[in-house]
Amino acid sequence: MLNLINEQNTTIHLANKPRRGRPKKTQTDDMHTRDALLRAGMLVLTETGFTRSGIDPILKSVGVPKGSFYYYFSSKEAFGLAVLERYRRYFEAKLDSFLLDDAFPPLERLQRFAQDAQDGIVRHNYKRGCLVGNLEQESTHLSEAFRAQLQQTYQSWQVRVAASLKLALEKGDIVLLDSIENTSQAFWIGWEGAVHRTRLMKNTQPLSVFLHFFIQAIKVK
């Protein structure tokens, strides 16, 4: 009887003993890994663009095996589109933090956004630009899905600048020779060009020149 009790206790002890090995991933773990991949993708694509970027450096920086990549994304394009969507949300929040700041007049909000962007380019030694601008330069090599999402992103940004210009117009701070929508579009066309020239020269002078020109063109003298 004593041996039977001991055998039963041993069986119970072995059953309750935790198993060794890697713990099973949870849905939260998967979400964190996917988000880490998107963040790493943002860093790489803002430096090198999409067509020249490889998946391997991104996976290595996050510690994800190459074979696991397709668990999170069906293809490199699907990954790129997800990175673009995440960058769009990030940049929308950034724009809102400046353009909706009631502590400053509308034009000053735009200038503060521009200064923060310049500081970021310098901080990263002119290696990182605008992910959307980088992808736009590759647009002839990208799918229609990419091109459509890029245009939607620009439209989202233009709406935000247009709202800021509308407020400045109502306050009598600016005068426009064209529609608010076209003026907002002109801002982003000029801005992206200035970002590329700034990275080329490794000097923020092109951004400063563009912003000064834009503000002087609409500001009430």
Tens digit of each residue's pLDDT (9 = 90 or more) over 89-131: 999 999 999 999 999 999 999 999 999 999 999 999 998 889 9
Q: Is the residue at 45 inside a domain?
A: no
Whether this model's pTM surpasses 0.85: no
**Which candidate, 146, 125, 128, places its Cα nearest to that of 136?**
146
Kindly tell me the sign of the dihedral angle through the C-alpha atoms of 70, 147, 200, 125: negative
Helices marked H in 17-173: 27-48, 55-62, 69-72, 76-99, 106-123, 131-137, 144-170
The structural domain count of the chain equals 1
Q: What is the domain-level CATH number for residue 204?
A: 1.10.357.10
Tens digit of each residue's pLDDT (9 = 90 or more) over 28-58: 567 888 999 999 999 888 888 888 888 888 9
Q: Is the residue at 54 inside a domain?
A: no
Range of the domain at 133: 80-218
Q: Is the residue at 36 inside a domain?
A: no
